[in-house]
């Protein structure tokens, strides 16, 4: 999968430690649950603010893509190799939104499109895209994922 990322012209960022008292990932059986992640680049948010007030849908889309790369980095640190992923099961996206912003799904398409481009059919997932009034550190998006890893890889 990392070769596929290279073909797409993107690479995984270094895995960052959690920002508080929690772990980045938890394994239960053949599932890996991630904590929420944001659009950090070199330890700083790429964007801050609310969609529909401070940021455009296109900026939110990019923030969602960067966030997914951070999530994949977290998962890789947990399982050692992204090729062990059997499928992306669920994506939960929180989008910091102005009161009259209703395009949360279009923002979250940044995450979903990247996952399908990298993993093909294994990247097709269930998804929720929710609007919220505020996120930690004024991030525009926070995303969680659930992935299935091959049984023998646990």
Contact 94, 38 (CB under 8 A): no
Rounded Cα–Cα distance for residues 8 and 127 (Å):
23
pTM of the model: 0.95
> Which architecture characterizes domain 2-13+24-153 according to CATH?
2-Layer Sandwich (3.30)
Q: Band the pLDDT of 16: cuts 50, 70, 90.
A: confident
Average pLDDT (146-152) is 89
The model's pLDDT over 85-111, given as tens digits with 9 standing for 90+, comes to 999 999 999 999 999 999 999 999 999
Torsion, Cα 77 79 83 84, to 10 degrees, reads -170
Beta bridge partners of 88: 147
**What totals of helices (H) and strands (E) does the chain contain, helices first?**
3, 7
**Boundaries of every domain in the chain:** 2-13+24-153
Q: Mean pLDDT across the chain, nearest whole number?
A: 95
The model's pLDDT over 43-70, given as tens digits with 9 standing for 90+, comes to 999 999 999 999 999 999 999 999 999 9
Contact 104, 97 (CB under 8 A): yes
């Amino acid at each position: 999968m990392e070769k596929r990322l290279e073909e797409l012209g993107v690479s995984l960022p270094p895995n960052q430690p959690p920002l508080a008292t929690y772990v980045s990932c938890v394994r239960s059986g053949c599932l890996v649950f991630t904590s929420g992640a944001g659009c950090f680049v070199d330890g700083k948010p790429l964007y801050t603010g609310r969609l529909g007030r401070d940021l455009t849908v296109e900026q939110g889309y990019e923030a969602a893509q960067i966030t997914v790369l951070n999530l994949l980095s977290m998962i890789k640190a947990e399982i050692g190799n992204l090729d062990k992923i059997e499928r992306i099961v669920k994506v939960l996206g929180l989008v910091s939104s102005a009161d009259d912003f209703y395009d949360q799904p279009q923002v979250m398409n940044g995450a979903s499109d990247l996952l399908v481009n990298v993993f093909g059919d294994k990247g097709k997932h269930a998804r929720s895209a929710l609007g919220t009034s505020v996120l930690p550190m004024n991030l525009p998006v926070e995303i969680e994922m659930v992935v299935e890893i091959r049984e023998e890889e646990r």
